[in-house]
Structure 1
C-alpha cells in the first residue's frame, strides 16, 4: 500500500508564446523575479509588469530575498493570475513554488525566461537610463 504524503502544489511551466498569450488576452500579471539591475536592462513589454527580486547579488554571491513572499503579497492577492519569469527559467521555478505553497492558485512559470522571450522576438521594453 502506498503511503500518503502531503500533496505539494506542482509548478506548471509554460512556454513564452503561451505566456505572451495569457498576458495579452487574459487577466494575468507578469512577475519578473530578476534583480532590479537585470530588469532595468530590459524586460517583458507588459504594462503591469512587476519586479520583485527572488535573489539579490551581494559581495558573498547571490542571496535569497527573505522578504520575497511578503513583497509579493503587498502587491498581489492569492487569487491573482500570475506569470512568473526570470532570466532563464530557474529562479522563477523556485519563486513559483513559494507562491503556490503560500496559497496562490493561478501561477505559471515562464520556461526559458527573458532569454527565451527575446530569442522568440516577443515585445521587450528597455527603460531609458537616466544620465
Structure 2
C-alpha cells in the first residue's frame, strides 16, 4: 500500500475548494462587509497575530464548534451556514481541510485563503495582536518564516 503524505491529502482535497489570494480578498472586503474570517490555527498562533475581527476556532474542535449543544459551540459560526466564510491558517493547507469539513457539514459559501496568513502579511494586509494592536509586516515576516529544526528534516 502506498504511503500517503500530508501534501498528498492537501492536493487531493484542494480542487474541491475555492481558494482566494490575499489581493482577491482585499477586493471582496470592499464589496462585501459580511465576510467571516475563520482562523483555524492553534491558540498560541492566533494570540500572536491574526486578522482583526476574525473568529478563532482551532481546527481540532471545528466539527463540534459548528453545532449547538457542545462545550465548543461557537454561535456565530453555527449561524453562518449561508454567510461567506474565508478560512485562514498559516500557509493555506489546514484551511483547505477546514473548508472541506465545513462544506461536508452543510456550509454553502466557504473558501480558503491561498498562501495563508503568511501571504496575507507579505501582501501587507493588516494583522493585529491579541489586544488589537497592529503588527508591523516585518514582525510578521519573522514570525511566518520557516523554522524547521534539523531533527524535523527528513534524514538523508
Q: Determine if the TM-score, normalized by the shorter chain, exceeds 0.5.
A: yes
What TM-score results when the alignment is normalised by the length of structure 1? 0.74
Which residue is equivalent to 1:51? 56
Work out which of the residue numbers 105, 111, 115 in structure 2 matches 1:112: 115
RMSD across aligned positions (CA): 1.9
From the superposition, tell whether residues 20 and 70 of structure 1 become closer, same or farther in structure 2 (CA, over 3 Å): farther
What TM-score results when the alignment is normalised by the length of structure 2? 0.63
| Aligned positions of 1:1-131 closer than 5 A | 10-26=16-32, 27-45=34-52, 47=53, 49-54=54-59, 65=60, 67-73=61-67, 74-76=75-77, 77-128=80-131
Rg larger in 1 or in 2? 2
Number of residues of Structure 1 aligned to a counterpart in Structure 2: 108
Distance 1:25 1:69 in 2: 30
Which residue is equivalent to 2:140? none
Give the SS at the match of 2:98.
Answer: helix
From the superposition, tell whether residues 25 and 114 of structure 1 become closer, same or farther in structure 2 (CA, over 3 Å): same
From the superposition, tell whether residues 75 and 128 of structure 1 become closer, same or farther in structure 2 (CA, over 3 Å): closer
| Unpaired runs of at least 5, structure 2 | 1-14, 68-74, 133-156
Structure with higher RCO (Cα < 8 A, 6+ apart): 1
Kindly indicate which of the two structures has a greater share of residues assigned to strand: 1
Write out the 4+ residue segments of structure 1 that deviate beyond 6 Å after TM superposition.
none
Distance 2:96 2:128 in 1: 23
